[in-house]
């Protein structure tokens, strides 16, 4: 899907929405923003914060391993998260290039249906290539498991988002996105007064629409923006999970960094700005 096929038709109808920070299990918003807990926000101006410690031998021999279709290889390495102290070591793994789409999720006959409240992509034909949203962490994990995959830990997600040893602050590098970027870098509220695709006054964007893969060191799409991503990592409570990546209903660049984390999202939340992608072991 390219921009040339998605000519502007509608002006953006800005609908104030709660992001996933305090949403009930039926998808009803209840907090100001999924990134409302700014105490954990990454400092985009911090010099070399959380720089990757991986050496030149951190990754596997690309000639010896590969990934299933639709996934990219993420080399292993050791690093410190931008917004969480401590050293993290990850083994090589494969990650979905995009979020799981609404169409792909709908094709899973054994999966529980996604939510259908306002702004959910469920059963909306023209949003089949948008991320699956309104799905709780158990549903996301089940879908991945049905394919022999799993949800990433937050360390795996951040390492992949930063491009491994490249240690990017944003998916594309260290340059902060703005609403004046031309072309725009990501799917978010900022800069969406003129909507570049039909019938989309608000909401998610088709996966890969902003072509982050062309500038991401590992060729991954939408690691900043579109929908927040579930991880398997426990949050501040045993029933919470950490979400990463920033959602389409955010406007703050700090929430689009590869280090920003929200660790207070109930595992039962099913929200319009929260989706998922899967990881898998490399193929030998």
Whole-number pLDDT of residue 141: 98
Q: Is the residue at 4 inside a domain?
A: no
CA torsion sign for 231, 235, 241, 245 is: negative
Q: Name the DSSP letter for residue 179.
A: T
Q: Is the residue at 252 inside a domain?
A: yes
3-state helix, strand, coil in the chain (%, to 5): 15, 15, 65
How many separate domains does the chain show? 1
CB atoms within 10 A of CB 66: 13
73 is written with which tokens?
């290889």
Q: Is 194 within 8 Å of 8 (Cβ atoms)?
A: yes
| Domain CATH code at residue 237 | 3.90.1580.10
Whole-number pLDDT of residue 284: 84
Closest CA to 51 of 77, 90, 72: 77
pLDDT one-digit tens code per residue, 65-75:
899 999 999 99
Whole-number pLDDT of residue 189: 87
> CA–CA separation, 221 vs 96, rounded Å?
9
> CA–CA separation, 169 vs 178, rounded Å?
15
Element (H, E) at 141: helix 137-146
Residue 20 has pLDDT above 70, yes or no: no
Q: Is 105 within 8 Å of 132 (Cβ atoms)?
A: yes
Closest CA to 117 of 129, 133, 102: 133
Q: Is the residue at 90 inside a domain?
A: yes
Residue 198 has pLDDT above 70, yes or no: no
The model's pTM:
0.80
Whole-number pLDDT of residue 211: 96
Whole-number pLDDT of residue 200: 66
> CA–CA separation, 161 vs 153, rounded Å?
12
> CA–CA separation, 217 vs 74, rounded Å?
10
Tell me the CA distances in angstroms from 115 to 42, 121, 258, one per residue in order. 31, 8, 28
pLDDT one-digit tens code per residue, 24-75:
333 333 333 444 333 333 343 433 444 455 443 444 454 578 999 999 999 9
Higher pLDDT, 164 or 39: 164
Residues forming beta bridges with residue 96, ordered by sequence position: 71
Instruction: For residue 95, give its domain range.
Output: 21-37+70-284
Q: What are phi and psi of 155, to 5 degrees?
A: -65, -45
Residue 225 has pLDDT above 90, yes or no: yes
Q: Is the residue at 63 inside a domain?
A: no
Q: Is the residue at 134 inside a domain?
A: yes
Q: Is 276 within 8 Å of 98 (Cβ atoms)?
A: no
Whole-number pLDDT of residue 115: 97
Residue 15 has pLDDT above 70, yes or no: no
Q: Is the residue at 199 inside a domain?
A: yes
> CA–CA separation, 283 vs 214, rounded Å?
24
Q: Which of the four pLDDT bands, split at 50, 70 and 90, describes residue 2?
A: very low
Q: Is the residue at 176 inside a domain?
A: yes
Q: What are phi and psi of 78, to 5 degrees?
A: -120, 135
Residue 209 has pLDDT above 50, yes or no: yes
Residue 84 has pLDDT above 80, yes or no: yes
Q: Is the residue at 43 inside a domain?
A: no
Share of the chain above pLDDT 70, in %: 74
Q: Dump the DSSP string for 188-255.
A: SSTT-SB-SSTT-SSS---TTTT-GGGTSTT--S-SSSSSEEEEEEE-SSTTEEEEES--TT---GGG
């Amino acid at each position: 899907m390219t921009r040339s096929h998605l000519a502007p038709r509608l002006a953006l109808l800005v609908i104030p929405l709660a992001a996933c920070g305090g949403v009930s299990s039926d998808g009803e918003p209840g907090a100001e923003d999924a990134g409302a807990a700014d105490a954990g926000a990454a400092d985009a101006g911090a010099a070399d914060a959380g720089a990757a410690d991986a050496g030149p031998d951190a990754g596997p021999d690309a000639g010896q391993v590969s990934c299933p279709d639709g996934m990219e290889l993420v080399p292993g390495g050791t690093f410190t998260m931008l917004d969480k102290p401590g050293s993290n070591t990850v083994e090589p793994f494969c990650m979905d290039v995009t979020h799981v789409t609404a169409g792909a999720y709908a094709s899973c006959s054994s999966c529980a249906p996604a939510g259908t409240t306002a702004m959910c992509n469920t059963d909306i034909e023209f949003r089949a290539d948008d991320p699956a949203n309104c799905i709780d962490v158990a549903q996301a994990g089940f879908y991945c498991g049905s394919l022999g995959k799993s949800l990433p830990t937050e360390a795996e997600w951040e390492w992949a988002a930063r491009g491994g040893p490249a240690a990017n602050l944003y998916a594309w590098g260290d340059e902060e996105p703005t609403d004046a970027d031309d072309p725009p870098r990501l799917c978010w509220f900022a800069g969406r007064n003129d909507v570049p695709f039909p019938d989309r006054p608000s909401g998610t964007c088709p996966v890969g629409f902003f072509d982050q893969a062309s500038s991401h060191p590992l060729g991954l799409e939408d690691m900043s923006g579109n929908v927040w991503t579930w991880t398997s990592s426990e949050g501040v409570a045993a029933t919470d999970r950490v979400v990463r990546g920033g959602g389409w209903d955010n406007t703050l660049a700090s929430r689009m960094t590869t280090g920003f984390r929200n660790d207070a999202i109930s595992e039962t939340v099913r929200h319009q700005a929260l989706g998922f992608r899967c990881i898998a072991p490399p193929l030998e």
